[in-house]
């Protein structure tokens, strides 16, 4: 009887290990850019990433999941939800949106790095951060906007639209000079 219990326990442990290994493999595989790019709707997004400044240094979840294992799992669940909605046509409930949290940017671009920029740029980053402006509010053209997404500076139109939307008076000539620095 003891050997039957030991054998059963061994099967249970082996089964749990197999399930954990399969889940870990699935999380790894579905977090790779090739997987993200395999969906028809993501093909141009994937291609633009390949030509971006981030292609050699960041995968999809490096930017599209907040730091931490729990947040990576949440990003995978959101992705699964997105696939489910696309496959079933279900329109109820929230659908995955690929937003980028500042904490993702700050993993590779820490505040100490931003402070070391020329004084004018450093001051602008601090001012925008103090107003809870997201990194991608200004730098959204880095990765997925065009196939030539190599510019890290905000486009003047982005600045003007945001300042107008927020009711902040802006001198277009001054803004043009600042975005060229």
| Domain residue extents for the chain | 2-88, 102-179
Tokens at 147, concatenated: 């196939």
The predicted structure's pLDDT at residue 149 = 45
Residue pair 67/80 in contact (Cβ under 8 Å)? The answer is: no
Tokens at 35, concatenated: 């997987």
Name residue, tokens 């510019």. 151
Tokens at 171, concatenated: 């001198």
The predicted structure's pLDDT at residue 135 = 86
The predicted structure's pLDDT at residue 12 = 94
Q: Which residues neighbour 84 within 8 Å (Cβ) at sequence distance 6 or greater?
A: 90
pTM for this structure? 0.70
**Residue 75 to residue 96: CA distance in whole angstroms:** 9
**CATH number of 2-88: 3.40.50.300, 1.10.3820.10, 3.30.710.10, 3.90.79.10?**
1.10.3820.10
**Residue 146 to residue 109: CA distance in whole angstroms:** 22
**Would you give per-residue pLDDT tens digits along the chain (181 residues)?**
568 888 899 999 999 999 999 988 888 888 888 888 888 778 888 888 888 888 888 888 898 889 998 888 888 888 888 778 878 877 666 655 677 888 998 888 887 777 666 666 666 777 788 888 888 888 877 777 655 445 566 677 777 888 888 888 877 676 666 655 5
């Amino acid at each position: 009887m003891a050997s039957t219990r030991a054998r059963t326990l061994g099967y249970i442990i082996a089964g749990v290990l197999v399930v954990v290994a399969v889940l870990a493999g699935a999380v790894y595989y579905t977090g790779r850019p090739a997987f993200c790019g395999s969906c028809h709707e993501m093909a141009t997004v994937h291609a633009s990433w390949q030509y971006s400044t981030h292609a050699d240094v960041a995968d999809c979840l490096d930017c599209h999941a907040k730091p931490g294992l729990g947040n990576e799992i949440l990003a995978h669940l959101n992705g699964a939800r997105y696939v489910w909605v696309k496959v079933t046509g279900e329109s109820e409930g929230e659908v995955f949106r690929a937003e980028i949290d500042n904490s993702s940017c700050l993993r590779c671009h820490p505040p100490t790095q931003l402070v070391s920029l020329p004084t004018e740029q450093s001051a602008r980053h601090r001012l925008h951060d103090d107003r809870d402006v997201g990194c991608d509010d200004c730098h959204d053209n880095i990765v997925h906007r065009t196939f030539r997404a190599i510019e890290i500076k905000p486009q003047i139109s982005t600045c003007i639209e945001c300042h107008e939307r927020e009711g902040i008076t802006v001198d277009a000539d001054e803004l043009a000079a600042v975005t060229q620095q």
